[in-house]
Amino acid sequence: MSKLRSRLVPYLLILPGGFWLAVFFAAPLIFLISMSIQTGNVTSGFTVTWHFAEYWLGLKGYSQQFLHSLYYGGAATALCILLSYPTAYWIAFKGGTRKTTYLFLILLPFFVSFVLRTISWQYILADNGLVLGPLKSAGLLPENFRILATTGAVIGGLTYNYLPFMVLPIYVALERIDFRVVEAAHDLYANKFEAFRRVVLPLSLPGVFAGVLLNFVPAASDYVNAQVLGGPNNTMIGNIIQDQYLYNTDYPMGAALSFTLMAFLLIGIFAYARALGTENVLEAAAA
Amino acid sequence: MSTSVLTPASSGLRVPEQPARRRRPKVRFGDRLLHVYTWLLIGWLALPIAAVALFSFNNPKGRLNILWVGFTLKWWGPKLFEYPDLTRAMWNSITIGVIATVASTVLGTLIGLALGKHKFRGQNVTNLLQFAAISAPEIVLGSSLLTFFLTLGVQPGYPTIVIAHIAFCLSFVAVTVRARALTLDPFIEEAARDLGAGPWATFRLVTLPLIWPGVMSGALLAFALSIDDFITTNFVAGSVQTYPLYIWGASREGLPPQVNVMGTIIFMFGAGLAIFNSVRARRARA
């Protein structure tokens, strides 16, 4: 009796939260797929007509935005790796007793609302704002010079917003390295560079992989940075999905685009996990 | 560089000291460079926050708070509540955050305990579900939830925001608690049972205190996620506004300095809480 009960315990523990996730996370995804093959409009309602054309129309009509998402998300992720690695390395190996303090400082942006941070950049970089205004009136920059409404501004904003998600996993991976293996490399006549390239770097790669996952998925599906810092030519697929849902009330198109985005990301994640070994990625992501 | 690597191998015992001494300043230079670089990066990360805080003391004519006009403290006083929409949005954010934190902490802790303490069939599926919920792009989360509510004829509003927030917070709590529960020594619970404690007493007096730090950091994470969430909330909010939604909507006509004051208060509160937490954790360890 007590054995049966103890075997039931984990299921009872999972039940309430699992129910919540099943109803409000898994089921909505089914509704999303169903919506994408419906036709109709807001006033007369939508019905399932197995109308798959939205997918084709969406891919064709918004290929530009899909490409932007891929490009901006990828560029921001690459920049995040380049910017994060040196800092994560320094904190992990030379941070000494102040490691936690440095990590805390890196995480500071999270205590200010994501939207407010991004709009703050918009104000700082405005065409006649804090930075460009004085430079322009001093004649150091041409009157029509701008940072906002450019591709660079969107990539920069994405990099800024997701950078801490890259620093943390790389730091965790580096911190775990037993420094004796690096010493062993030196004993075996590896110079500093060789020891880094053949010992430290490979051991830290799981952290980089986890960081790529944590960066690319939200960056590619973001639309706040594109809307606040970008121009009309910088729209990403997220902007379109938001517009279809909230302004055009074309739910089937919005759903088809949303599902396409998720499918692309899922295929990407699986291919990525396959190439690196699922265990590695899951483990690194969970850490 | 190449000579200093060659000499110790080819000469006697005394020599290895020399290249090491010669190499040291070079290492220090690289470290110092990285040190400076880290501070530059932190400065870059802090810049927009500093701008938000600074402009909460600005004295602009209208709502446009982009250029520095003059110093004032007036927004930090009763004028903070001059915009009823903003005040209501802030209040919504706080109450939604509290409800979502409490609910997701309870639900997430139970899942975390199951995953960390027990071995059972379906464990991998549950783990995968947590991973999927955490890594799902917010835009898909938001659009699918809105589709769900619309199809069922549920009017988006305050309750749907709460439901969505619990849904995306609880996996983060579960993962945090799971990590803590994995470190639990099963013998301690066994000892409690040997001493006559029932399952509930064992949980309340032994298990819960042991996983408490994990529960607390999970709850903090949930509150931070909830109060900051924009993308998912924007889909399921209907006409209800939260603080990030208000900022989004108002940014076109300019954000009044009151937004900056509230942002600064949230920042100081969050940072203060994190510092307090880590200091207390350090003291508990010592």
**Distance from C-alpha of B214 to C-alpha of B42, rounded to nearest angstrom:** 27
* CB of B126 less than 8 A from some CB of A: yes
Which residue did the predictor score with more confidence, B275 or A243?
A: A243
Quick check: helix, strand or coil at residue A112? coil
Closest CA to B242 of B86, B93, B85, B87: B93
Nearest-angstrom CA–CA distance, B97 and B34: 38
Q: Given this model, what pLDDT does residue A2 score?
A: 65
Beta strands in chain A (DSSP E): 38-41, 45-48
Confidence of residue B258 (pLDDT cuts 50, 70, 90): very high
Distance (Å, rounded) from C-alpha B92 to C-alpha B98? Answer: 10
Please tell me the distance from the alpha carbon of residue B39 to that of residue A105, in angstroms, as a whole number.
9
- 3-class DSSP state of A47: strand
> What are the chain A neighbours of B111 within 8 Å (beta carbons)?
13-14, 17-18
Strand partners of residue A40: A46
CB A214 within 8 A of CB B137: no
Distance CA B133, CA B125 (A): 12
Contact: A35, B151; criterion CB under 8 Å: yes
Residue A173 CB contacts under 8 Å (≥ 6 apart), including other chains: A203, A204, A205, A206, A207, A208, A210, A284
Instruction: Return phi, psi of residue B167, to 5°.
Output: -60, -45
* Closest CB to A124 among B48, B120, B234: B48
Nearest CB to A117: which of B48, B111, B120?
B48
- In the chain, the amino acid numbered A177 is I
Spell out which residues of chain A touch residue B243, defining contact as CB-CB under 8 Å: 113
Identify the pLDDT of residue A269: 83
- C-alpha B209/C-alpha B226 separation (Å) is 25
CA distance A182 to chain B (A): 15
From first to last of its 287 residues, chain A has per-residue pLDDT tens of 567 777 888 899 999 999 999 999 999 999 999 999 998 888 878 888 888 888 999 999 999 999 999 999 999 999 999 999 999 999 999 888 888 889 999 998 888 999 999 999 999 998 888 888 888 888 888 888 899 999 999 999 999 999 999 999 999 999 999 888 988 998 999 888 898 999 999 999 989 988 998 899 999 999 999 999 999 999 999 999 999 999 999 999 999 999 999 999 988 888 887 777 655 555 555 54
Question: Cβ of B251 and A102 within 8 Å?
Answer: no
pLDDT of residue B4: 42
Size of interface A-B (CB pairs under 8 A): 245
Minimum CA–CA partner of B174 in chain A: A17
Going from the C-alpha of B245 to that of each of A15, A199, A249, the distances in angstroms are: 33, 47, 19
Measure the CA–CA gap between A33 and A266, rounded to whole angstroms: 15
Dihedral angle computed from the Cα positions of residues B74, B80, B86 and B90, in that order, rounded to the nearest 10 degrees: 130
Report CA B179 to chain centroid distance, whole Å: 16
Per the prediction, chain B carries an average pLDDT of 87
Q: Please say if the pLDDT value at position B205 is more than 80.
A: yes
Does residue A109 or residue B99 have the better pLDDT?
B99
Bridge partners (DSSP) listed for residue A45: A41
pLDDT at A67: 96
The yes/no answer to whether this complex scores an ipTM above 0.95 is no
State pTM to two decimals.
Answer: 0.88
DSSP run (H or E) holding B130:
helix B123-135
In the structure encoding, which two tokens stand for residue B21, read together?
């001494």
Which three-class secondary structure state does DSSP give residue A41? strand
Contact A126, A132 (CB under 8 A): yes
Separation CA B90–CA B242 (nearest Å): 6
Structure tokens belonging to residue A247 = 């302004």
DSSP B10-73: HS-SSTTHHHHHHHHHHHHHHHHHHHHHHHHHHHHHHHHHHHHHHGGGB--SSS---S---B--
Mean pLDDT of B251-271: 92
pLDDT at B266: 93
Q: Which of residues 194-213 of B touch A (CB under 8 A)?
A: none
Chain A residues closer than 8 Å to B145 by CB: 24, 28
Q: How far is A162 from chain B (nearest CA, A)?
A: 11
- Phi, psi at residue A41, to the nearest 5°? -145, 175
**Biggest alpha carbon–alpha carbon distance for chain A:** 85
List of chain B residues whose C-beta atoms are within 8 Å of the C-beta of residue A251: 147, 150
Q: Which of A96, A46, A222, A71 is nearest to B147 (CA)?
A: A46
Q: Inform me whether the C-beta atom of residue B184 falls under 8 Å from chain A C-beta atoms.
A: no
pLDDT band of residue B286 (cuts 50, 70, 90) is low
Q: What does each C-alpha distance from A237 to A226, B149, B158, B255 come to in angstroms?
A: 10, 23, 27, 27
**What residues of chain B, 218 to 237, have a C-beta less than 8 Å from chain A?**
224, 227-228, 230-231, 234-235
Q: Are strands A45-48 and A38-41 parallel, antiparallel or unpaired?
A: antiparallel
Is pLDDT above 90 for B58? yes
The 10s digit of each residue's pLDDT in B218-249 is: 999 999 999 999 999 999 999 999 999 999 99
Residues 6+ apart with CB under 8 A from B15: B7, B8
SS3 track for B214-232: HHHHHHHHHHHHHHHCCHH
| Chain A interface mutation, best of B3, B120, B140, highest count of A Cβ atoms under 10 Å | B140
Q: How many CB atoms lie within 10 A of CB A228?
A: 20
**Alpha carbon of B57: minimum distance to chain A alpha carbons (Å):** 15
DSSP 8-state code for residue A141: S
Distances (CA, A) of B61 to A104, B52, B71, B254: 36, 17, 12, 12
Whole-angstrom Cα Rg for chain B: 26
Would you mind telling me the total number of residues written for chain A in this entry? 287
Please tell me which of the candidates B51, B146, B231 has its beta carbon nearest to residue A124.
B51
Specify the higher pLDDT residue, B186 or A79: A79
Query: A111 and B118: CB-CB below 8 Å?
Result: no
Residues of A in contact with B5 (CB under 8 A): 189, 191
What does the pLDDT read at residue A221?
Answer: 94
* Total Cβ atoms within 10 A of residue B255: 24
Answer for the pair A51, A252: CB distance below 8 angstroms, yes or no: yes
In DSSP notation, A147-193 reads STTSHHHHHHHHHHHHHHHHHHHHHHHHHTS-HHHHHHHHHTT--HH
Determine the distance in angstroms separating the CA of A5 from the nearest CA of chain B, rounded to an integer: 11
Least confident of A76-90, B3-17, B51-65, B190-204: B3-17
Residue B167 forms contact with A (CB below 8 Å):
yes
Residue of B nearest to A10 (CA): B114
Q: Which residue has the tokens 């089914």?
A: A30
Q: How far is CA B254 from CA A77, B239, B257, in A?
A: 31, 20, 9
Tokens read off for A23? 């109803």
Measure the N-to-C terminal CA separation of chain B; round to a whole number of Å. Answer: 44
**DSSP 3-state assignment of A45?**
strand
Give residue-wise pLDDT tens across range B29-51.
Answer: 888 999 999 999 999 999 999 99
Nearest alpha carbon to residue A72 among A239, A271, A204: A239
